[in-house]
Structure 1
Amino acid sequence: MGKSKTNKFRRPQFNAEGLSVTAVKEVEEDHDGVDSPAGELLEKLQSPSADVREFACASISRVVQQSQTIPGFLQRDAVRRLGPLLLDRSLAVRETATGALRNLSACGGHEVCEDMVKQDVMTPLTALLRECCAGFETNDALSLKGQKNTVEDVANEAVNLLWNLCESSSQALSVFNKAGILDVILQCLERHTHNIKLALSAAHCLHTVTEDNAELLCSMNNAVLGTLESVLLSSQADMAHTLLRTLAAGSVWNLKSSLPTARQAQTLNALMATLSQCLELDAGTLIPQLRQAEVAQSATASEAGNMEDHQAAAGNMAVEEMDDDEEEGVGPRTNGKATKIDKDFSDLLPRGKEELREATALLTAQQTSLEIIVNMCCSDDPSDDEWEEASSSDESEMCPDGLSEGNTSLLSPLCLSAEVHGALINHNIPEKELTEINFLPRMHRVQYRALTCLHNMLSTMDAESLGGAAALQDVAQHLSTLVFSAPEIPKEEEFLEAVTSAVRSLLQIIAYMKIPQCMTPQQLMSLSEAATRCDVVSVRVNALAILGITGSTLAKEKGTAETLQMIGNALLQVAAKDANLVVCGEALDALFDVFADGDEAERAAKNINLLSSLKALQPVFKAKIRKEGKGKYSPEQLCVLDNIKVNLRRFIGYLETVVKK
């Protein structure tokens, strides 16, 4: 999903109702021993007894969650053995067999998913989905009266398996497109009025398969868009429906190129209204309220003399509910990719099943909303492989003395359409997004998405749209509090990438508008120092850009030579020692900006022997480009590096004239 391609979940689930606890324990004990249970369990799949087949499928579901067991099952042709059971005469077997394949796909990763598709798992899965949907309309012709397993339970497992396969396998996605499975997913989505669990699975799947899927656009028609619009306009206020509407909004955005012209304005408005309403919800207030409700329930249970049982149940509810919606260790899916569970906010969540469901849905909805807005505002901001725009050293921007006039190339023109820009403003999206930056500190995933969203908004929207100078100063204060209130800068890579991108974009627009801001040079240097130690190239590039912007601003002020010296030394060290040429180039580019002009800059340059340091570095930098360039870096990156090489020569010439003064 554009710049923020980071997100989605798979969760294991199978129905173990009625299974023998001792039998399951025996399977687990066998697994702990020398002999693998794979062969025995796969043999049981052929049993004439439906109970035995169900037990075997459920046991496989449990065992394959330990990834080291998966090769043993694959070597014994588990996929081909489980596939026919998707169409077993017993609904319970269908559900547990689908759950076993779902866990196999979730815990096995991309390669296992590709292998499953090659073994033709999509054929029985497609047939199963069609039979399930037929069962919706024919009063569940496949189910047995009084049986707990229902067609919708089976369909939920099947949709989740489909979701896993399509996000990991292009071949599965191709089958999805060609086999007309979209209609099946829409039927599941339409069940939201009485089965929100199934509808959410379908919405997650649809959000995934519509992303960057040009082939699917040919299948779009008024009926498809009408279904999505009906979901967007639904009025249920619970958090599950809030998440459902948000996922539908994401699918609509993915399909925006197929919207009829006459409906574009109406649909865009409904989409923005959905995102706006989601971001209005204050998770920091709602989640504690949900927890208080759970405490009240606990007190009531205690008064009834059932406190001990209630606590035991509540203690297990979080695990049970996560099993309903997530794979252990894998977090909520938001746009088609699997991410780790945010265990960092788990201690803030209520423990009751319903309360946990609501809180998880709210957090996932807000994370997804922010990701959609990120992609709406997605600019060509540089990353480690899209770096050309980051350089202020393009020869077309040279000043008469051969140096660039600051970092103006970083302020790219607005790339939002007038309609999207207007809709964002009309629904106060920038203001609502900014409130997410100071999200509950431990709810990091939403906070990271809010920071990324802020970065893209700052890169693509004008200052007035964001609230003007006062609002930008408030943003700087929020970021300062977020980053610098702790004793040390957090070291998590995702946090550093999100926050350095946001700070970089904010500093660019503040410097351009000459707006005072609260972050001190010392604070920005500490952030940059932490970021330059990160293994992620884009984080290090951001850190150097922050130093460059800070230094170029300070160079225009009096009494800043000492601070400029510290910045210059830091940039020189990176330029000389970093193993990545893109990072070295960014450090040099920042040096050009910091020491391009001004008495303070000249004084600082002399004090750190900048001229002699760059002269020593020049041949090394040229040699690295020559030796490492072609095999390691893209043509675009090499073009930028060549420009920096030219500018390094010119900058050395400029410094030589300064010394002669």
Structure 2
Amino acid sequence: MGKTKNNKFKRPSFSPDGLSATAVKQTVEESEDEDSPAAELLDKLQSPSADVREYACASISRVVQQSQTIPGFLQRDAVRKIGPLLLDRSLAVRETAAGALRNLSACGGPEVCEDMVRQDALTPLSALLKECCAGFDGSSSPAVKGQKHTVEDVANEAVNLLWNLCESSSTAVAVFNKTGLLDVLLHCLQRHPQNMELAISAAHCLHTVTEENAELMRSVNAAVFGVLENILFSTHTSMEYTLLRTLAAGKRAHDTGRVVKTFTKSNTSILKTLATTLSHSLGLDAGELIPELWRAESAHERPAGHEAEEMEEDVRDEKMNGRKPNGRISKTKNDISDLLPRDRLELREAKALLSAQQTSLEIIVNMYCSDEPSDDEWEEMSSSDESEMCADGMSDTNSSLFSPLCLSAELHTILLNHNIPQQVLKKAEFPSAAALDCENPNLTVFDSSRMQRVQCRALTCLHNILSSMDTEFLGGASGLQAVAQHLSSLVFSSAEALKDEEFLEAVTSALRSLLQIMATKNIPQCMTPHQLMSFCEAATSCELVSVRVNALAILGITGSSLAKEKNTADTLQLIGNALLNIAMKDSNLVVCGEALDALFDVFADGDEAEKAGKNINLLSSLKALQPGFRLRKEGKGKYSPDQLCVLDNMRINLKRFISYLENLQRK
């Protein structure tokens, strides 16, 4: 029970506060009598004046960033009214119309995106993108470049809208496959010498739409590979080019993933190129580079109030693209560098660096995992053969918490040769004090969350690497102990860390994996009883089930190891009382099951465990738990089939462990 599985890292979607269809209806009903700007602005879209239409679209872009206003626009058929303006005669109207739909999709969430696709927003969007590509050559002339709005500006907004829709809607991906939009994105990618902003947006979209898209993969040809390899082998050193190469590597990794088990010289060459790209991205020391960029940014003279105004816009956008409070992994489109002011090169470079490192870590996570059931599926499953315990005794070894990962020897060697594991370890220690303690406090506040997101991805990556790599490659026993100490200290690095569920899940998953490996290798644990209990107290108070499950597993692993040592009864008593308390009081079946499993592991064998069990009246406490599980079993209507399976195993295992303890007492 409570098993975790190393699942693939899904590219996060982008809405922090997406409104479900029910929420939209409820909000509409509640606001029917309230004044809304939607009606007036949508009426202005029909104006014969291009300036008025542009003003209306730009206003809608701003207004829909307040998610409570979105239902008013949807109720008035905003998508069908804005959609035709994507093909307006005015470039300015086209750009602002695409921007309005882009913000609507980003702030409205998956339900709104699906609704936009159902209302055929992709038809004018596809036509617009194809027209833009046809007009790229003309837009590069000096006369046109001086204009406020260019074809490439329009294309950038349109590509970002396409990215949002495809990230949230499988229907949009199907339309993408059928309408030949891959060629459009490739054309945008090839504009990187002239317009890096557009190329990065296209690369993000391509990276997203090609993941797990077998139909599209079949249409990939030599021309596609040629465009990607041209980017991968570019020698530009800017951070934006580093991000572009990383995204191209991600797309190439999707292609290679289909044939990675059948190694040829060609495949090996591709994987070496990917590893080189990822290694370069992770090898950049953000702790040094970001303060340098901040100092360069601060050195620029800016008009009074200008910086504050831009920072307010940046922070608002970060909120719009931030994390869901209760999501396992942020449900956001995390890269927003395309929205930063164009004259702030250093700020854009810093954002590109962090985005490149985050994307690199996500790609590596996918390399180190197999297409198996997800964490949630494993948490709700419990096989009876794994929970079997003999009435007269129990195994003195922990069964592996993790199934073997499908990492070929060739790929393993390539990643080692490029120092990928060591670089992931360094990123798990990120963000550095130097990066956070720079001279530009406004930028630090804005960017610290992005640095911490890189750290979360590194911790998730470390969790998978630990499950598939020999300990010697990670520094042996002393190296693993140092990593374990560091991971446990991260939880208490700041008060904010204890409130960040994404971070807590990443760090507890990595620590759980690490401690399990150390226990298997008989490497002494390095956490003091006080550290252990403080860590688990913080984690078990988290609302996220997976964090609580990880904390209980950590208690079980540590307690099982301590039970084999001498003079550990006092610590085992602390662990036993904590686990009993959770098994009796937690309302979640998976958490209760993990607490019981941990108890069984800790008190399965050994003189110290037997002594501690008697001191906390373990047998009588477990007997007192039995009626509660019978009552839960009787209330079948409250539980799903999977939960009933968990209940069955909990009840059976509890009964058998009680029999085991009773046999011990008779001896």
Does 2:532 correspond to 1:541? no
| 342 and 191 in structure 1: CA distance in 2 versus 1, 3 angstrom threshold | closer
Does 2:596 correspond to 1:588? yes
| 410 and 72 in structure 1: CA distance in 2 versus 1, 3 angstrom threshold | closer
In structure 1, the residue matched to 2:305 is: 312
The 8 Å contact of residues 424 and 430 in structure 1, kept in 2 or not, is answered as: yes
- What are the residue-to-residue correspondences of 1:441-456 with 2, within 5 Å? 442=448, 443-456=451-464
**Structure 1 Cα separation of the partners of residues 457 and 576 of structure 2:** 32
What does the per-residue CA deviation read over 1:236-261, in whole Å, with 9 as the maximum and x for residues that have no partner?
Answer: 11111111111222222223245695
Tell which deviates more after alignment, 171-180 or 228-237: 228-237
In structure 1, the residue matched to 2:49 is: 49
Deviation at 1:460, TM superposition (A): 2.0
* Match 1:385 to one of 370, 377, 383: 377
What does the per-residue CA deviation read over 1:302-347, in whole Å, with 9 as the maximum and x for residues that have no partner?
Answer: xxxxxxx544333334355678xx56531499xx97438799xxxx
**Structure 1 Cα separation of the partners of residues 581 and 134 of structure 2:** 67
Unaligned runs of 5+ in 2: 1-5, 17-30, 433-447
**Structure 2 Cα separation of the partners of residues 322 and 240 of structure 1:** 21
- What are the residue-to-residue correspondences of 1:248-647 with 2, within 5 Å? 248-258=248-258, 263-297=266-300, 301=301, 309-319=302-312, 326=317, 328-331=319-322, 338-339=331-332, 353-378=344-369, 383-387=375-379, 394=386, 401-440=392-431, 442=448, 443-484=451-492, 490-628=498-636, 632-633=639-640, 635=642, 638-639=644-645, 641-647=647-653
In structure 1, the residue matched to 2:113 is: 113
The 8 Å contact of residues 469 and 515 in structure 1, kept in 2 or not, is answered as: yes
Does 2:167 correspond to 1:167? yes
The 8 Å contact of residues 403 and 647 in structure 1, kept in 2 or not, is answered as: no
| 152 and 489 in structure 1: CA distance in 2 versus 1, 3 angstrom threshold | closer
The 8 Å contact of residues 291 and 351 in structure 1, kept in 2 or not, is answered as: no
**Structure 2 Cα separation of the partners of residues 178 and 487 of structure 1:** 49
**Structure 1 Cα separation of the partners of residues 201 and 541 of structure 2:** 40
The 8 Å contact of residues 390 and 656 in structure 2, kept in 1 or not, is answered as: no
Does 2:656 correspond to 1:653? no
| 405 and 513 in structure 1: CA distance in 2 versus 1, 3 angstrom threshold | same
What does the per-residue CA deviation read over 1:222-247, in whole Å, with 9 as the maximum and x for residues that have no partner?
Answer: 22223222222222111111111112
**Structure 1 Cα separation of the partners of residues 380 and 278 of structure 2:** 33
**Structure 2 Cα separation of the partners of residues 382 and 46 of structure 1:** 48
In structure 2, the residue matched to 1:22 is: none
What does the per-residue CA deviation read over 1:452-496, in whole Å, with 9 as the maximum and x for residues that have no partner?
Answer: 111111122221233322321231232244234558972321121
The 8 Å contact of residues 497 and 503 in structure 2, kept in 1 or not, is answered as: no
Deviation at 1:39, TM superposition (A): 2.2
The amino acid across from 1:574 in the alignment is I
Q: How many residues align?
A: 618
| 198 and 418 in structure 1: CA distance in 2 versus 1, 3 angstrom threshold | same
What does the per-residue CA deviation read over 1:411-441, in whole Å, with 9 as the maximum and x for residues that have no partner?
Answer: 5334312222112111100101101122126
Report the 3-state secondary structure (helix = DSSP H, G, I; strand = E; otherwise coil) of the residue aligned with 1:132.
helix
In structure 1, the residue matched to 2:12 is: 7
What does the per-residue CA deviation read over 1:152-182, in whole Å, with 9 as the maximum and x for residues that have no partner?
Answer: 1000000011111111222111101111111
| 276 and 622 in structure 1: CA distance in 2 versus 1, 3 angstrom threshold | farther
The 8 Å contact of residues 318 and 356 in structure 1, kept in 2 or not, is answered as: no
In structure 1, the residue matched to 2:228 is: 228
In structure 2, the residue matched to 1:18 is: none
The amino acid across from 1:386 in the alignment is W
The 8 Å contact of residues 315 and 351 in structure 1, kept in 2 or not, is answered as: no
Report the 3-state secondary structure (helix = DSSP H, G, I; strand = E; otherwise coil) of the residue aligned with 1:460.
coil
In structure 2, the residue matched to 1:177 is: 177
The 8 Å contact of residues 588 and 644 in structure 1, kept in 2 or not, is answered as: yes
**Structure 1 Cα separation of the partners of residues 384 and 571 of structure 2:** 22
| 626 and 407 in structure 1: CA distance in 2 versus 1, 3 angstrom threshold | farther
The 8 Å contact of residues 555 and 598 in structure 1, kept in 2 or not, is answered as: yes
The 8 Å contact of residues 275 and 418 in structure 2, kept in 1 or not, is answered as: yes
| 489 and 163 in structure 1: CA distance in 2 versus 1, 3 angstrom threshold | closer
What does the per-residue CA deviation read over 1:291-310, in whole Å, with 9 as the maximum and x for residues that have no partner?
Answer: 1222333xxx4xxxxxxx54
Deviation at 1:131, TM superposition (A): 0.5
**Structure 1 Cα separation of the partners of residues 625 and 535 of structure 2:** 26
Deviation at 1:644, TM superposition (A): 3.8
**Structure 2 Cα separation of the partners of residues 558 and 390 of structure 1:** 33
Deviation at 1:393, TM superposition (A): 6.8
TM-score by length of 1: 0.86
**Structure 2 Cα separation of the partners of residues 209 and 136 of structure 1:** 23
**Structure 2 Cα separation of the partners of residues 70 and 43 of structure 1:** 16
Deviation at 1:593, TM superposition (A): 0.5
Tell which deviates more after alignment, 585-594 or 643-652: 643-652
| 488 and 357 in structure 1: CA distance in 2 versus 1, 3 angstrom threshold | closer
| 639 and 37 in structure 1: CA distance in 2 versus 1, 3 angstrom threshold | closer
Deviation at 1:571, TM superposition (A): 0.8
The amino acid across from 2:639 in the alignment is K
**Structure 1 Cα separation of the partners of residues 246 and 641 of structure 2:** 37
In structure 2, the residue matched to 1:21 is: none
Tell which deviates more after alignment, 469-478 or 125-134: 469-478
**Structure 2 Cα separation of the partners of residues 158 and 93 of structure 1:** 12
In structure 2, the residue matched to 1:154 is: 154
TM-score by length of 2: 0.86
| 10 and 386 in structure 1: CA distance in 2 versus 1, 3 angstrom threshold | closer
**Structure 2 Cα separation of the partners of residues 315 and 55 of structure 1:** 24
Deviation at 1:102, TM superposition (A): 1.0
**Structure 2 Cα separation of the partners of residues 394 and 652 of structure 1:** 18
State the identity as a percent. 66
The 8 Å contact of residues 102 and 160 in structure 2, kept in 1 or not, is answered as: yes
- What are the residue-to-residue correspondences of 1:17-96 with 2, within 5 Å? 35-96=35-96
**Structure 1 Cα separation of the partners of residues 641 and 248 of structure 2:** 37
**Structure 2 Cα separation of the partners of residues 263 and 384 of structure 1:** 37
Deviation at 1:384, TM superposition (A): 3.8
The amino acid across from 1:593 in the alignment is D
In structure 1, the residue matched to 2:22 is: none
What does the per-residue CA deviation read over 1:514-540, in whole Å, with 9 as the maximum and x for residues that have no partner?
Answer: 123432232122111111111111111
Unaligned runs of 5+ in 1: 12-30, 302-308, 344-348
Tell which deviates more after alignment, 523-532 or 503-512: 523-532
The 8 Å contact of residues 391 and 657 in structure 2, kept in 1 or not, is answered as: no
The 8 Å contact of residues 163 and 205 in structure 1, kept in 2 or not, is answered as: yes
**Structure 2 Cα separation of the partners of residues 136 and 252 of structure 1:** 26
| 558 and 486 in structure 1: CA distance in 2 versus 1, 3 angstrom threshold | farther
The amino acid across from 1:632 in the alignment is Y
Deviation at 1:658, TM superposition (A): 1.6
**Structure 1 Cα separation of the partners of residues 73 and 653 of structure 2:** 59
Tell which deviates more after alignment, 48-57 or 466-475: 466-475
**Structure 2 Cα separation of the partners of residues 405 and 351 of structure 1:** 62
The 8 Å contact of residues 129 and 155 in structure 2, kept in 1 or not, is answered as: yes
Tell which deviates more after alignment, 426-435 or 517-526: 517-526
Deviation at 1:400, TM superposition (A): 8.3
